[in-house]
């Protein structure tokens, strides 16, 4: 027995692997894919079909995504209404995805679902900011539409490339908490919307996807209030509080995703005059290694990148979901193909009453 199923192999997958500290998507390391500088459509196709797409297939996928970046009018009205509620954006996303089944009960393709989740996410961001909802760009890739629909600004070529890389590294991570939740739900043969709703509920937690929001809030407090970084960290650790963005269940020496994001965080910080965020991040990283021997994970430098792209801390996990949705859809499909209900056993460690002990003794005597 191990806490949190650490080290336990809970199933088989052909989608991704983290063996030996490397993140692999269907046989390709994220470093290989990053060098190719693919758009996110390539990553989606790879996760869904376990091979890289032909050019015609890539074009077709992009067209399907763009065609489905629209929400039913009655759904948009409902979305506007409940987005007024004073709850976190991730709670709104969880409910919004569940609501999709009410207006589109017919099973949609992965392309259609991915596109609609993107529009839901960017609509929540716009409504959260009190801004008008925008129409997708007809001839733009997924990353460009994500940035445009959320911020109202068409990204520069370099921003577009960096966002595609950010989406790449967040797309999948074998049996992480939200993906495993999606697979457990899918194993019951329920619908895709239910699987995604469950996955989003898991991603929302601060020990999973919600960690990047906490990193953003920490950096915002340090840079805005000009607080000494070391004193801040020392105080938090003495209070027994976690410093989000550090440590990982699998990666002990380095997180391959963090390596890719760190250089882009520095570049964007310089381009957008937010070097204070990057420099503060470096101070935090050095202190956490010196004091705790903890490494930064994917959440740490992604916070600086999202900030430099114009997002607020409570929007960071929404962006995570816009990417991870592709991985969830791949795992939901794979789990259904396995046709196996995920139902582990447990070890009972609760109280043992005399009546129960007598029953067990009688059973053994027989």
- On whether the CB atoms of residues 280 and 249 are closer than 8 A, the answer is no
What are the backbone angles phi and psi of residue 24, rounded to the nearest 5°? Answer: -120, 130
Q: In what order do the strands lie in the sheet with 16-17?
A: 16-17, 24-25, 28-29
d(CA 319, CA 97): 15
* Distances from the Cα of 4 to the Cα of 1, 9, 176, 249, angstroms: 9, 12, 11, 10
Of 170, 173, 248, 307, catalytic: 248
Name the helix (H) or strand (E) containing 16. Answer: strand 16-17
Alpha-carbon distance 107 to 86, whole Å?
31
Is 299 part of the annotated catalytic residue set?
yes
Torsion of the alpha carbons at 264, 266, 268 and 274, rounded to the nearest 10: 150
Phi-psi sector, 305: left (phi>0), alpha (psi -120 to 50), beta: alpha
Number of H helices, E strands in the chain: 17, 3
Q: Which residues of 235-258 are buried (b: 16+ CB within 10 A; e: fewer)?
A: eeeeeeeebbbbbbeebeeebbbb
Q: Can 248 be counted among the known catalytic residues? A: yes
Which one from 173, 255, 299, 331 is the annotated catalytic residue?
A: 299
Q: Catalytic residues, which ones?
A: 248, 299
């Amino acid at each position: 027995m191990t806490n949190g199923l650490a080290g336990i192999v809970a199933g088989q997958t052909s989608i991704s692997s983290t063996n030996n500290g490397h993140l692999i998507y269907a046989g390709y390391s994220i470093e290989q894919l990053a060098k190719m500088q693919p758009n996110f459509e390539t990553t989606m196709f790879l996760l869904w079909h376990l091979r890289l797409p032909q050019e015609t297939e890539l074009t077709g996928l992009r067209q399907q995504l763009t065609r489905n970046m629209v929400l039913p009018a009655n759904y948009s009205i409902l979305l506007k209404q409940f987005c007024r509620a004073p709850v976190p954006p991730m709670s709104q996303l969880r409910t919004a995805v569940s609501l999709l089944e009410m207006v589109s009960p017919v099973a949609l393709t992965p392309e259609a679902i991915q596109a609609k989740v993107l529009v839901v996410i960017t609509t929540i961001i716009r409504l959260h900011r009190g801004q008008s909802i925008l129409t997708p760009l007809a001839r733009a890739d997924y990353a460009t539409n994500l940035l445009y629909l959320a911020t109202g600004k068409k990204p520069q070529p370099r921003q577009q490339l960096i966002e595609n890389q950010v989406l790449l590294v967040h797309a999948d991570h074998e049996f992480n908490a939200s993906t495993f939740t999606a697979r457990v739900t899918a194993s019951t043969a329920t619908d895709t919307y239910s699987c995604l709703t469950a996955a989003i509920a898991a991603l929302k937690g601060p020990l999973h996807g919600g960690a990047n929001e906490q990193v953003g809030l920490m950096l915002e407090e340090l840079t805005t209030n000009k607080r000494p970084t070391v004193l801040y960290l020392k105080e938090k650790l003495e209070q027994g509080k976690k410093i989000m963005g550090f440590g990982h269940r699998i990666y002990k020496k380095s997180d391959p995703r963090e390596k890719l994001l760190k250089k882009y965080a520095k570049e964007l910080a310089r381009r957008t005059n937010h070097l204070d965020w990057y420099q503060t991040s470096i101070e935090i990283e050095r202190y956490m290694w010196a004091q705790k021997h903890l490494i930064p994970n994917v959440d740490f430098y992604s916070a600086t990148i999202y900030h430099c792209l114009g997002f607020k801390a409570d929007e960071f996990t929404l962006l995570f979901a816009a990417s991870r949705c592709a991985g969830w859809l791949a795992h939901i499909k794979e789990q259904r193909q396995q046709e196996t209900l995920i139902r582990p056993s447990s070890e009972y460690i609760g109280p043992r009453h005399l009546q129960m002990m007598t029953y067990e003794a009688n059973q053994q005597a027989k």
